[in-house]
């Protein structure tokens, strides 16, 4: 029986102090908006790497996504960057919810400075996530601008509850080093595109 070859970059990911952003989602399909916020997160939050966590499915969405194989291939095609890793690690970890995934990743890589990345549209509904307060209190959160979502995000239950722990955008670079709860909301250029729009246009069979 053959065993998988350990990834050569594994020692780097285990290095204490490494800053890794986690961008989770169905990526059904991935699009240039995902690419845009990933590149901005790398720069503004001073991250060493970003991992795309391609999830088996989103508990908040009624319909199952396309196959994992198809979504992983599409992610690798659209997001080609030496500091971005496309992964289905939630399958390996056997987790379904974000809180479970974060807990297991932090246990596996105790020295890594993880940051949870999301769009402002997700922040607006963050209070619907399972154990959302645990997430906010156990990992720094970097929020990226999304068209038409800034106001809703800023008035969301999460934003109001943790208002005193919000870092100004000018200090975004220290987010990975700040003890949670802590979060930052970045404005700036945006890509007006979404996975649901692509599916509704019939561009993702």
Q: For 114-168, write each residue's pLDDT tens digit.
A: 999 998 888 889 999 999 999 999 999 999 886 555 666 777 899 999 999 999 9
Is the domain covering 16-200 a CATH 3.40.50.620 domain?
Answer: yes
The structure's pTM equals 0.83
> Which stretch of 35-44, 57-66, 71-80, 171-180 has the lowest confidence by average pLDDT?
57-66
Q: pLDDT at position 7, please?
A: 40
Report the C-alpha gap between 107 and 120 in whole angstroms: 28
Q: pLDDT at position 204, please?
A: 40
Domain boundaries, the chain: 16-200
Q: What is the pLDDT of residues 70-96, one digit of tens each?
A: 999 999 999 999 999 999 999 989 998
> Which stretch of 59-68, 111-120, 186-195 has the lowest confidence by average pLDDT?
186-195
């Amino acid at each position: 029986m053959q065993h998988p070859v350990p990834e050569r970059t594994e020692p780097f990911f285990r290095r204490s102090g490494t800053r890794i952003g986690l961008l989770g989602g169905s990526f059904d399909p991935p699009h240039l908006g995902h690419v845009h916020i990933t590149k901005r997160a790398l720069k503004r939050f001073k991250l060493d790497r970003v991992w795309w966590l391609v999830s088996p499915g989103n508990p908040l969405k009624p319909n199952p996504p396309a196959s994992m194989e198809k979504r992983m291939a599409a992610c690798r095609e659209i997001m080609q960057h030496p500091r971005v890793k496309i992964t289905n690690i939630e399958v390996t970890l056997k987790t379904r919810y974000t809180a479970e995934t974060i807990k297991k990743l932090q246990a596996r890589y105790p020295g890594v400075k993880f940051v949870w990345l999301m769009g402002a549209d997700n922040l607006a509904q963050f209070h619907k996530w399972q154990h959302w307060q645990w997430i906010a209190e156990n990992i720094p959160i970097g929020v990226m601008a999304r068209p038409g979502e800034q106001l809703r995000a800023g008035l969301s239950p999460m934003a109001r509850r943790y208002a005193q722990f919000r870092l100004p955008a000018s200090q975004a670079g220290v987010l990975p080093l700040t003890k949670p709860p802590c979060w930052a909301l970045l404005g700036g250029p945006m890509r007006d595109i979404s996975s649901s729009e692509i599916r509704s246009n019939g561009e993702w069979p």
